[in-house]
Chain A
Amino acid sequence: MRGTAGRRSTWLRQSSAWADAVRALLWKEITGEIRARQSLGLVLTFALSATVLAARASLTLAGDPDASAAVLTLILFFASVVGLARLFLGEEEQGTSGWLRLLADPVHVFVAKVIYGTALAGLICLLTVPAYLVLCGLAVSPGLAVLVCGAASFSLASAVTLCAALAARVRSGDAMVAVLALPLAIPVLWTTAGGLAGALSNVPVLTHVAFLVSYGVLMVTSGVALFPFLWEG
């Protein structure tokens, strides 16, 4: 009995150390972002401009939920890729990658990046979706939309983060992220469009959300397994 108690407290100790490490790395991401304020602004500006353009162009869709959802998903994807690509390219540019490699456990780094990426994608959704809806005069069931966007942000970030890490090791990194991420992101995009269409038509979207979350979890898990190979090269 004493043995199991000992093991359990070790696990608790280990998991809190784990959480601390991730939290520290996350904080580093956020402070780094605040310092390099322009790049976040750039991403959000791009997202907004794309939204405005797309909304103008999709007036002829006459509020068709499937089509509108598809357009919205595309905007979200490209804006997110632009933002998420910087997750690792930023490290290479600022020269912090060597330092990071020395001090941090790759798993912690990866998880922190995914959490940050999810937040970034979520922020993009927060800006893009209401803007698009207002510009197109569409109504949406807010609960469903939030659910879908949240799940989609997580799912997308989980798939794109690993690709961003891969692309950072390649010279033409920027372009490479989109090429690598697109096939992995297609299930996410397909499902997000379906989910958003459901939110627009007030139709249940539980399957879509469940899919997005499970896909995200799967991607994070494989990322956690694969990222160390990239980190140590």
Chain B
Amino acid sequence: MAGLWLGVLGLWMAGVVAAALYLVPVSVEGLGELARVIFFHVPTAWVAVIAFAVAAYHSWRYLRDRSADRDHRALAAVELGLLFSVLATVTGALLARVTWGMYWNWDPRQTSILFLLLIYAAYLSLRGVVRDNENQAMLAAVYACAAFVAVPFLVFVIPRMTASLHPQPVVNPAGRIYMERPMLAVLLASLAGFTGLFAWLHSIRWRVARLVAAHSRMLMEHDDPEGGARGSGRAD
């Protein structure tokens, strides 16, 4: 069953890549072929935000039920979120260079993703400093939830408050769509694909963490010298 979904994901993304990079005609004002970065930039930024929402959700659930699995899921989401934030910032900078001539413009949307990056970094440094696992999980969970409150402001409010160099949102509040239909279709498909990719990577990452935790618990409980030979503790 999982195999079927993964197969779909694999083919879907292959289709997206092909369409984004070759098949679809690109028609954004004066950017030419380089506008294709949009098909990857927007989804990575989207996933970066989604990842944080996922992390915050699992952090909140962790605070309620203190289940280690919740903590694994939260941390996995943050790690992936960091990765996608970096990708979004880089692709965004590339697009900025092409559109406005500079890699960095202090454009509010561009800056928003940087803020997200800072939050992720702060979260991970907090975890890095605290040695005791349970304390680490609890403190990190509290921070994730607090930071989640800030995210809507960082991502949605601030861009609206200041004048923006950023191109109009693809779907503006009035509901009119600024991209040509084929481009929009590919963008949405890419969005879906990247979300699926995130879900897959997230699942793998947190299950690895769970396995490692279980293994080290096993080692501690049995104090077993054969622990290393029984099965690879390294699942990555």
Contacts and interface: CB of A to CB of B under 8 A. Distances in A.
Interface of A: 159, 162-163, 166, 169-172, 176, 179-180, 182-184, 186-187, 190-191, 194, 207, 211, 215, 218-219, 222-223, 225-226, 229-230, 233
Given A170-B139, A222-B145, A176 B118 contact: no
A226 B145 contact: yes
Q: Which of A172, A187, A225 has the most CB of B within 10 A?
A: A187
A183 B149 contact: no
Contacts of B63: 226, 229
A214 to B, nearest CB: 9
Interface stretch (B33-41, B91-99, B122-130, B219-227): B122-130
Given A166-B139, A166-B142, A229-B138, A183 B161 contact: no
Contacts of A223: 146
A229 B142 contact: yes
A207 B161 CA distance: 8
Contacts of A191: 161
A183 B115 contact: yes
B146 A222 contact: yes
A169 B150 contact: no
Nearest to A222: B149
Nearest to A186: B115
A215 B118 CA distance: 19
Contact of B135 (A176, A184, A187, A233): A233
A182 B122 CA distance: 9
Contacts of B146: 162-163, 184, 219, 222-223, 226
**What is the predominant secondary structure among interface residues of chain B facing chain A?**
helix
Contact of B158 (A162, A187, A218): A187
Nearest to B136: A170
B119 interface: yes
Interface of B: 63, 115, 118-119, 122, 125-126, 129-130, 135, 138-139, 141-143, 145-147, 149-150, 153-154, 157-158, 161-162
Q: A-B pairs with the 8 shortest C-beta distances?
A: A183-B119, A183-B118, A222-B149, A187-B153, A226-B142, A184-B150, A229-B63, A180-B122
Contacts, number: 78
A162 B148 CA distance: 13
Contact of B126 (A162, A180, A184): A180
A179 B153 CA distance: 19
Given A218-B149, A226-B146, 18 more contacts: A166-B142, A176-B129, A179-B122, A180-B143, A183-B115, A183-B118, A183-B119, A183-B122, A183-B150, A186-B154, A187-B153, A187-B154, A207-B161, A211-B157, A219-B146, A222-B146, A226-B142, A233-B135
A171 to B, nearest CB: 7
Contacts of B122: 179-180, 182-183
Given A169-B135, A180-B122, A223-B146, A211 B161 contact: yes
Contacts of B153: 187, 215
Contacts of A184: 119, 146-147, 150
A95 B139 CA distance: 21
Nearest to B66: A229
Contacts of A172: 129
21 contacts: A159-B150, A162-B142, A166-B139, A166-B142, A169-B130, A170-B129, A172-B129, A176-B126, A179-B122, A179-B126, A182-B118, A183-B150, A184-B146, A184-B147, A187-B150, A187-B153, A194-B162, A211-B157, A219-B150, A226-B146, A230-B142
B65 to A, nearest CB: 12
Contacts of B135: 169, 233
Contacts of A186: 115, 118, 150, 154
Contacts of B162: 194
B62 to A, nearest CB: 10
A229 to B, nearest CB: 5
B145 A169 contact: no
